[in-house]
Chains A and B, each alone.
Chain A
């Protein structure tokens, strides 16, 4: 079938065996199998690389996606499972001329929709001139009167416009959907480009592919200019729904790429009709809000929205011109498909132009003619090529569930149309082109949806030369959301000559004011960083302790168990890794063999304090502040999470459930049968080694790559507090016995806290109590010692942002200072000479263990405690009785 002859070794040809569909347009092949112009060189390049190598590159890219955690709906509460992004090997290629026609049409459409918005929320000339039926606007639940009469900056409502395109069988592009509220997908388009250029490294340059960066620079300029009159260096925030939103990955990605602060509604406050960012250093003014949540949820004070992620008072601040919101509040109104039938007329009247880019044929049933057309279609049973859908889109949802010919009987559709016609449209089923994809290692034929983006400039709109192509087996899957479909493709627009490389950072024309700030850290972010630090350190401490235990359990002890094993197992039990009974001498014998329970216990996510749970918490905290972590840092966190959660699944499976055991006993089947995949000490040992290496790498990154701002201080404070408690509790649990036993215990502690090498290099001898305790507790030159932690803690606490309320120091200062003083006053010789003195050490350790959590709480209260969610005053109450 295929005539791809670019490679003489035809069997290597990557689309060998692919058959373009007869009824639809194929992006790559003519219906006779001939390759389309423009694709030949790309296919030839691919063929040259060869199937084997391409497969390898594609797998590599998928690994990359896994490693970076590129996914959507990461914390979807219903399933809790993030779906990883999938990218095809070959891009969608669009030629120069074809694209330029498309871009002209898109630019016109953005211009037109912007004017329509300004009119609906202003003079409503479209209604008085009869270009849009008054019924359309007045019956539209998304026409919120509170948005009327806003002063939009320079007449622009629509700063970012997006359209979903479909290509019909004749090769023409149609607009299937308009997106004007807060268009999604830009981040994925960017990520696709980065991955695609790794799979086909030289192709982008060689085939003169347009770059995406200029579009984002334009976006930055547009947003900056929204406040140009007032500030040189405006504060722009990206308002996200947070990790509960399906697009959180993208929000974080874009915020980092564009250099904006990622905020959730709770991070912003409106005071004196101005918008502020709540930071550790107090309230900082916000000039521009790039919103990623729907306009109806942005201001619960006036829209009555019950959503918790809005900002009360935002609308009034915007009305008074104190803040600019992009897109302007109310923009969602024109993304309803029922507006489509009126656009050609508006374009003719207002612009004196024909609508350059047609919409998929749509009829709004609020009009008698359209209604009777729809009813006639139903009557004649010809509804197959059409769908009956909601006329509106509100808050990213179809307002009324789509009543398609698939879902409902013709009679039901009919009665809906007769009783509530204005809530429905009839739309021709979107025809979509097909394209071969490499998906699943062989050429498949999937349908294509192309999402494209337009940004407002000072005088006109600019189209991003590229887009997000999504592909699906059933064209209908692509209609519902930007996440629909099986796989995505990067979109390459060819230029006629070499494309200049630009970077987002190289645009400043004016001298920049040097800054070393860090005070603009939102309290919520500081909170997450602090706990990220704590959980990370807890995981590390636990992992090291476990490694020592496992080494002793699997090692060949001379007399069976290693002598310090009891001590280490007790530590594990005290830390909640295993049944607390293991810490009690009399109970130990009644419990199962530690060897059997250990793997499942430490990998039990439900068990608070377990290794698995610490890592899961650290990952959760990190994912809330993704924009604050370097890409490498995030990768390691993601790797830790994946490795430990996979191991956790395996361990859970290999551990027969009590029900299984009971059943087995009944039928006399060996329980072994239920252990699908064994996960024993050997596997645990390997896992722990891997985790420790990753954790150490993360430590290094944090130590070497994070600037010493407040963000770093909070993270490090969390780590230090945790490490201090860990060390103290290890020393505290030391056996209260004669020297040889103690010596072994001390050696184990030194090993666990990574100080054994230091000890050996210093003393070259058996473990001496005073020397060991010095290294563990009082030696400020040892970054693992208690004294070192306490000195660092005192430094962090002393350098935290603070108001003028505490000229003499905060309570945190006093606790940190007194602990540091305490450890400096300890005389290890004194502590170690006599049994009697043991109580002195005990007292000191107890005091430290008592004070550290207090310090942690004080820091939380001062910096992290939020004032709480704003509530509606009128909750459940009515005035008119």
Chain B
């Protein structure tokens, strides 16, 4: 399955911005079943500096700065991504979650450590005993890890309401847990807060979700969205993605851009600017399937 993705971020300022510096995580990374064949970042006005760097987690960070006075900043990332269909392993056939946890704790190879680091607290994901207890209702003794994960995913989806007005960027996960409301970022952070205290490595995935127009209507350009979900290390089956907002195991609808411990590691567009007065922001994402093979 091939997709063409465009992601446009627009800042409009009431006053001139003489200078700004940005760090963006917009380039889709290659994974075991995803390849990014083309990526292009277009910035207006023309940046004075532009560099890329692979970060600690292997994501591509792009740095740029603009020293021309501007009142409109337009950042557009376009990419072509191929997704391979992949089969989810038979849930009952996966290893028990305790054995995955224990094997990992003994693994001191570089690869093992690269996984293990995702089993710890991070800025947006503190540890709370309540969350571990919530998770244990699914992660019962000797249960196959994927089965337990599917159960947690399903429970969360059933018990939490998607509500963009209930939370903001700094809402702590315990508040999300108590109010049972939030958006994909909140649910992803919350699920990380459930899994990690059990000793399971889980990471935050930033990416895109393809959306389907209602039956009989044309696809609307830019109506898609940036999305976030979770990936859990499941032993011999490697990392398996799970989307608590939609109660699914991502396959051919989720395009991975970057991953980290939480949102703070992979914020798609961050930056600092001088002046500018008030500013408004608009984001448009378009995930278009390419039907014919080129």
Contacts and interface: CB of A to CB of B under 8 A. Distances in A.
Interface of A: 124, 127-130, 134-135, 138-139, 141, 145-146, 148-149, 270-273, 300-302, 304, 312-313, 316, 319-320, 419-420, 867-874, 876-881
Contacts of A134: 108, 113, 116-117
A772 B283 CA distance: 73
Nearest to A881: B183
B117 A138 contact: yes
Contacts of B53: 319
Contacts of B271: 301, 872-874
B103 interface: no
B185 A419 contact: no
Contacts of A149: 56
Most chain B beta carbons < 10 A, residue from A124, A270, A300, A870: A870
A880 B272 contact: no
A868 to B, nearest CB: 5
Given A316-B63, A881-B183, 8 more contacts: A128-B109, A145-B55, A870-B272, A870-B273, A873-B270, A879-B283, A880-B184, A881-B226
A871 B273 contact: yes
A880 B263 contact: yes
Nearest to A269: B19
A127 B272 contact: no
Interface stretch (B20-28, B85-93, B232-240): B20-28
A873 B12 CA distance: 11
A870 B113 contact: no
A130 B121 CA distance: 21
Interface in B163-186: 164, 168-170, 183-185
Contacts of A304: 264, 270
Contact of B20 (A129, A302, A873): A873
Contact of B226 (A129, A141, A868, A879): A879
Nearest to A133: B108
B108 A128 contact: yes
Given A273-B49, A878-B168, A880-B184, A127 B273 contact: no
A743 B110 CA distance: 93
Contact of A271 (B65, B260, B281): B65
Nearest to A876: B169
Given A128-B110, A880-B226, A867 B269 contact: no
A312 B63 CA distance: 12
B89 to A, nearest CB: 27
A319 B23 CA distance: 14
Which 9 A-B pairs give the minimum distances between C-beta atoms? A880-B228, A145-B56, A880-B185, A873-B271, A870-B272, A878-B169, A138-B120, A881-B183, A312-B272
Contact of A871 (B108, B168, B183, B276): B276
B169 A873 contact: no
Contacts of A272: 48-49, 65
B116 to A, nearest CB: 6
Contacts of A869: 274
Contacts of A301: 21, 23, 270-272
B45 interface: no
B21 A270 contact: yes
A270 to B, nearest CB: 7
B225 A881 contact: yes
A273 B11 CA distance: 23
Interface string B40-58: 0000000011010101110
A877 B113 contact: no
10 contacts: A127-B108, A313-B21, A867-B275, A870-B273, A871-B272, A872-B272, A877-B281, A878-B169, A880-B185, A880-B227
B19 A867 contact: yes
Interface in B244-294: 260, 263-265, 267-276, 281, 283
Given A145-B265, A419-B129, A881 B164 contact: yes
Nearest to A875: B169
A128 B269 contact: no
A313 B65 contact: yes
Interface of B: 11, 18-23, 48-49, 51, 53, 55-57, 63, 65, 67, 108-110, 113, 116-117, 119-121, 123, 127, 129, 164, 168-170, 183-185, 188, 206, 225-228, 260, 263-265, 267-276, 281, 283
Contacts of A128: 108-110, 113
A689 B59 CA distance: 70
Contacts of B55: 145-146
B220 to A, nearest CB: 17
B268 A879 contact: yes
B168 A876 contact: yes
B81 to A, nearest CB: 18
B253 to A, nearest CB: 16
A880 B183 contact: yes
Nearest to B121: A139
Given A867-B274, A878-B185, A148 B56 contact: yes
B203 to A, nearest CB: 13
A877 B281 CA distance: 9
Contacts of A313: 21, 65
A302 B23 contact: yes
A364 B72 CA distance: 52
Contacts of B108: 127-130, 134
Contact of A880 (B11, B20, B56, B188): B188
Contacts of A148: 56
Contacts of A300: 272
Contacts of A138: 116-117, 119-120
Contact of B267 (A273, A320, A420, A879): A879
B120 A312 contact: no
Most chain A beta carbons < 10 A, residue from B22, B55, B117, B269: B117
A367 to B, nearest CB: 13
A872 B53 CA distance: 21
A271 to B, nearest CB: 7
Nearest to A121: B56
Contacts of B264: 304
B190 to A, nearest CB: 13
Nearest to B189: A880
A511 to B, nearest CB: 37
Nearest to A310: B272
B231 to A, nearest CB: 14
Nearest to B264: A304
Contacts of B164: 881
A698 B291 CA distance: 82
B44 to A, nearest CB: 16
Nearest to A130: B108
A881 B184 contact: yes
Given A127-B113, A313-B65, A880-B184, A867 B228 contact: no
A124 B113 contact: yes
B281 to A, nearest CB: 6
A873 B274 CA distance: 10
Contacts of A879: 185, 206, 226, 267-269, 283
A145 B48 CA distance: 26
A880 B189 CA distance: 11
